[in-house]
Amino acid sequence: MKYTDAKIRRGDYGDALPWFNQPARVMDDFVETGKSGLVDACQKGMATMYGDGRIVLNTEVHPFYSDPLTDIRATMQSPRIAWSNPGETTTQLIPMHPLDAMQKATVTTGDTAAYNAIFGAVAVVQTIQQQNAFSAMPKRPYMKEGFRAISAQPTISTAGIAEGAGAGTPVEPTYQEITVGMKDHAVATEMSTRLELVATKNDTVTFAGNAQAVFSQFMTRIDTALLGDTETVAAYELESIDRITSRTAEATAGLFTAGREDLYGVDRTSADWFDGDGLHNSGTDRPLNISLVDTLIANQYPYWGNDAGNKLWITAPLTWKAWSALEGSKQRFSQESAAFTYTQGVQPVIGQAGGFKLATYNTWPIVLDYFTPVDTLGRIYLLDTNHLGIVVGRPMEAIQGNNPVYLNYFVNRVIFYTIMETWTDLPHSCGHLRDLA
């Protein structure tokens, strides 16, 4: 057979086919196949014999077309397509319209190997990642194992003496040795050498992305230890703020197991001089009010010496909300007008239009942390950062290696490691307010 170019009219295909200037296949030598072949082709509808002797391919049954972009010849419909309707047990050879044929074999996202979703190397963490309390605490270098404390002042009955009298019997305070110590904190993660290799070419989690997610959770775990309640034994974790600010009276009231309040090995049952300032209501929650907050300040104030600065509040978001409502009723507004330009979506409105949000109280900043221990409302901590902070023996670092001789595996491993402890040398200067509703 020979291929020749021929002009065909748009109407030959109907409006369903938008092209109308395509080459058609003409069977110039078809008659040479003989009478039997001619009769067979005409009977099957493949060809039409005209009165003037022309034999032409029936384009309505067996059209060929040339892709105008790639010039690839393809068959769009053929009488040799086997088809049956749903529920039928027999098949028949029927011509298929080009659009019908494509509908029966549509490539979709569900086709194997036809679609591959790209998720990217970054994984969005779906859990709480706060570490606000830990971040707000001052960090100091490790200088010594502990400190000496004066647990009792010398007994001095009077300061005045008679003229010419002796100085009296010498006195001395009571000294104690407090060992704070240090604690190790570490976590490791690793990735196989092969995955790290293919991650450079494919859609996979990267080593750095995985390490960042692990580090974020590691810091969150340190924060939750810092905000654990007194009942939780510290063991290898940081001493909690709740334990530092607790007092023996809370154990007597049944708020936690006796002895849980002991700090740095000091038995607070017989050493109330090392107590914190824990204000409680024997486990019965009471409404939060400003008087309770101010009482916390008044109780701690005598232990601050001449420095009323460097204080810090820590509480839970819902407690902050209730606290803000108490202070919000005291607002006074001046007559002002303001214009706001909104871009990039809805923007926050400050001042009167935004309502009252408490950021400080008595000039000291309020830090919100989701992991704050909760009764009905979260507890409120007032911390004296002159005497409370995180002592760091070894700064947080990432130790990375991929030597299979030492690791015994073909992996790339990173270990996050630090040595530190929560340090206070004056627990009485810090306190908490609990049993709030």
User: 56: helix, coil or strand?
Assistant: strand
104-141 burial: b if 16+ Cβ within 10 Å, else e = eeeeeeeeeeeeeeeeeeeeeeeeeebbbbbebbeeee
Judge whether residue 365 has pLDDT over 80: yes
Query: Over the chain, what is the mean pLDDT?
Result: 79
What is the CA angle 89-95-97, rounded to 5? 110
- 101 band by pLDDT with thresholds 50, 70 and 90: very low
What pLDDT shows up at residue 26?
Answer: 40
pLDDT value at 349 more than 70: no
Q: What angle do CA 153, 158, 159 make, to 5 degrees?
A: 90
pLDDT at 65: 39
Q: What is the DSSP letter of 121?
A: S
Report the pLDDT averaged over residues 202-228: 91
Q: Which residue has the higher pLDDT, 55 or 213?
A: 213
DSSP class of residue 238 equals: P
What is the pLDDT averaged over residues 150-172? 86
Residue 64, H or E segment: strand 64-66
pLDDT digits (tens, 9 = 90+) for 131-152: 899 999 999 999 999 999 988 8
Assess whether pLDDT exceeds 80 at residue 3. no
Task: Estimate the crossing angle of helix 290-300 against helix 317-328, to 10 degrees.
Answer: 110
Lowest mean pLDDT among 161-170, 370-379, 390-399: 161-170
Model confidence at 173: pLDDT above 50 = yes
Start-to-end C-alpha separation, the chain: 94
Contacts 24+ apart (CB under 8 A), 92-95: 95/60, 95/61
According to the model, what pLDDT value does residue 358 have? Answer: 83
pLDDT for 417 beyond 60: yes
Give the tens place of pLDDT for each residue, 190-201.
999 999 898 888
pLDDT at 43 over 90: no
Lowest mean pLDDT among 54-63, 308-317, 388-397: 54-63
pLDDT at residue 175 is higher than 50: yes
pLDDT tens-digit readout, 177-192: 999 999 999 999 999 9
More confident residue, 191 or 78: 191
Q: Look at residue 208 and tell me whether its pLDDT is greater than 70.
A: yes
**For the chain, which domains are there?**
10-103 (no CATH), 132-151+174-330+349-433 (3.90.1690)
- In the predicted structure, residue 374 carries a pLDDT above the cut 90: yes
Share of the chain above pLDDT 90, in %: 47
What's the pLDDT at 335?
Answer: 53
**Segment 98-104 mean pLDDT:** 50
Helix (H) / strand (E) containing 353: none
Which pLDDT band, with edges at 50, 70 and 90, does 113 fall under? Answer: confident
When pLDDT is cut at 50, 70 and 90, the band that residue 350 belongs to is low
pLDDT band with cut points at 50, 70 and 90 for residue 22: very low
Digit-coded pLDDT (tens) for 248-275: 999 999 999 999 999 999 999 989 899 9
User: Is 78:95 a contact under the CB 8 Å cutoff?
Assistant: yes
User: Residue 364: pLDDT band by 50, 70, 90 thresholds?
Assistant: very high
Chain centre to alpha carbon of residue 165: 73
The pLDDT of residue 82 is above 60: no
| Cα Dmax for the chain | 155
Sign of CA dihedral 320, 323, 325, 329: negative
pLDDT band at 31 (very low <50, low <70, confident <90, very high): very low
Of all residues in the chain, the percent with pLDDT exceeding 70 is: 72
For 20, 77, 212, the CA distances from 5, given in Å and listed in that order, are 13, 20, 65
Looking from the CA of 254 toward its CB, the CA atoms found within 13 Å total: 3
Given a cut of 50, whether residue 68 has pLDDT beyond it is no
pLDDT (average), residues 240-252? 94
- Specify the higher pLDDT residue, 43 or 267: 267
Per-residue pLDDT band for 166 (boundaries 50, 70, 90) equals confident
Residues facing 388 on adjacent strands: 424
